[in-house]
Chain A
Amino acid sequence: MQPLLFGTAERRLAGLYHPPARGASQRAFLLCNPIGQEAVRAFRCYRELALRLSQADAHVLRFDYTGCGDSWGAADDCSVDTWLQDIASAAVELMDTAAVRQLSVIGMRMGATLAWLAGSRLPRVDTMVMVDPVLDGQGYLAAAREAHAVMLEDPDRFPKPRSVAETNGELLGFEMSDALLGEMAEIDLCAHRPVPGVRVEVLATDATSDYGRLTAHLEQAGVSCRQATVPFDARWQDGTALERTLIAPDLVSAILESAIPDSTGRERTGQ
């Protein structure tokens, strides 16, 4: 594992590069984090995934967006457009470091969504694995606000409840500017054309999740897409589960199989 700092001199992004276990490889995976507390909760999953991809002889880069994790910046520096630029920078960094000509992208939640939106800014993308992608920014924010209200009244967290009014400009522990919230509210994944030639794998941890609109959109665009359910009680937007670390070995295995199907000899079936 090698720490990396990349991006511009004014805006340094922190990343961790995992080289392939057995040396030269043409496989490279860029891991795109969720945002906010979902990123914190998914940290161990991402680390485990990176280690296993590296063991499967792939180059891997995981990194923090501007204003997140160890990267430069604070809340005011965060915007959807900035994060899309960060993903593009990370992709170039990975391809340069790994000396590969194409890469694959894996993202959970808003990480999957941002990777999708960044599609046209990325160099050649072979595969995109999207875990519980956020299709609709307004719905995502509405659920986050509901979880935030629940959190403020959680007696296991606050013996004296706190109010929504005193947490104006923040959601679930993180500051979010009006501008950022406005950008996020406008997200509609199916309004964006997919990256040409990409293979898409959609994994849902909740069997009731409906990604029909996304798969129909992809099929219409002639993009190869497979959807599968990997049951796991992620409780992504549960206001009482903010610090609940995702320990999901089966999910990590499913992501690995989706990312490198020829390593398991699995026959792909569409859904």
Chain B
Amino acid sequence: MNERSVLFGSTRSIYGVVTDPQGARQDRPAVLLLNAGLMHHIGPFRLYVLMARALAALGFTVLRFDLSSKGDSTARPGKLSYAESVKTDVAEALDYLEQTRGIKRFVLLGLCSGADDAYRCGLTDERIDGVALLDGYAYRTAGFYLRYYLPRLASPAKWLSFLKRSVGRTSGQPGPDAGLEGDIFGMAFPPRKEFAAGLRKLLERNTSLLIVYSAGWFEYYNYAGQFGDAFPDIAKNSKVRVEYFDRADHTYTIVADRKRLIDLVTGWADASF
């Protein structure tokens, strides 16, 4: 394989690294790895570097890059919102690979905020054949609440923490099911129905979905069947694969967990495309 650092985009301000496989399979989409939070393009603990090289070994071209204002990419001129800026960055990344390598189909993968970005960009760009969401949007179920609160009932310290957060709720903040999901835990997810509609739209376009949650996402997801309980019709779709790493943390700090994740992603990509 061959790796090349590149600057691309309309303002040549987006920095990334392309991993070209030896003997690229022309029928395979390219994979784009989107920043995890503020982490630059190597990913947490070099996850994206290792994942890119593992995918390239299977014939995928991979681009790991920094969205505008992250890592080594500079800010985009103008007054775009974050969502608009991400959409433009990703579109330009797809354009770059199409113009330089003739690739017309793509897979987006992201961890944490990267998952959110991959989902939103997947919805709006029909060149996306696959979306892999690692610790992205998650929706609590009765099973989640049971597993979340039962252990805390026996812990005075956790009661105190819960009461402190509840005081914050009653002083004007909306409850957990009002408008934005997850606000009691501090994250802003789109409403459950909107996310479900988005996933269905992707599936109607024949997009393959890999949805992975880790134990480190425990404030939002805490058992293997949670996605299926939240979205039963979507979980049963043959284009959807859901996995739960019940001991890994959010950034796959432990090497064995990271290797399992890479094996999962490469196996899914190899089987799906």
When A40-B39, A74-B50 are in contact, do A242 and B253 touch as well, CB less than 8 Å?
A: yes
Report the count of interface residues on A (CB-CB < 8 A).
33
A1→B17 CA distance, assembly (Å):
14
A123→B135 CA distance, assembly (Å):
47
Q: Mark A153-168, 1 if CB is under 8 A from B, else 0.
A: 0000111101000110
CB distance from A173 to the nearest CB of B (A): 4
CB distance from B165 to the nearest CB of A (A): 15
CB distance from A121 to the nearest CB of B (A): 25
Q: Is A204 an interface residue (CB 8 A)?
A: no
Q: Is B273 an interface residue (CB 8 A)?
A: no
Residue of A nearest to B36 (CB): A243
**CB pair B255 A69 closer than 8 Å:** no
**CB pair A245 B5 closer than 8 Å:** no
CB distance from B263 to the nearest CB of A (A): 15
**CB pair B215 A160 closer than 8 Å:** yes
**CB pair A3 B256 closer than 8 Å:** no
**CB pair B218 A159 closer than 8 Å:** yes
**CB pair B45 A14 closer than 8 Å:** no
A162→B216 CA distance, assembly (Å):
12
**CB pair B254 A170 closer than 8 Å:** yes
A43→B44 CA distance, assembly (Å):
12
Q: Is A210 an interface residue (CB 8 A)?
A: no
When A3-B7, A70-B17, A167-B255 are in contact, do A157 and B44 touch as well, CB less than 8 Å?
A: no
Q: Which stretch of B25-33, B167-175, B225-233, B243-251 is in the interface? A: B243-251
A172→B50 CA distance, assembly (Å):
17
Q: Is A125 an interface residue (CB 8 A)?
A: no
Q: Mark B245-271, 1 if CB is under 8 A from A, else 0.
A: 001011101111000000000000000
For window 3-17 of chain B, which residues contact chain A by CB distance below 8 Å?
3-7, 15, 17
Partner of B49, one of A70, A151, A172, A243: A70
Partner of B249, one of A3, A14, A158, A245: A158
For window 164-218 of chain A, which residues contact chain B by CB distance below 8 Å?
166-167, 169-170, 172-175
**Known contacts A1-B15, A243-B39, A243-B44; can you find 14 more A-B pairs with CB under 8 A?**
A14-B5, A16-B5, A16-B72, A43-B71, A68-B46, A70-B5, A70-B49, A157-B250, A159-B215, A159-B222, A166-B256, A170-B254, A174-B45, A175-B255
* A residues lining the B interface (CB < 8 Å): 1, 3-5, 12, 14, 16, 37, 40, 43, 47, 68-70, 72, 74, 151, 157-160, 162, 166-167, 169-170, 172-175, 242-243, 245
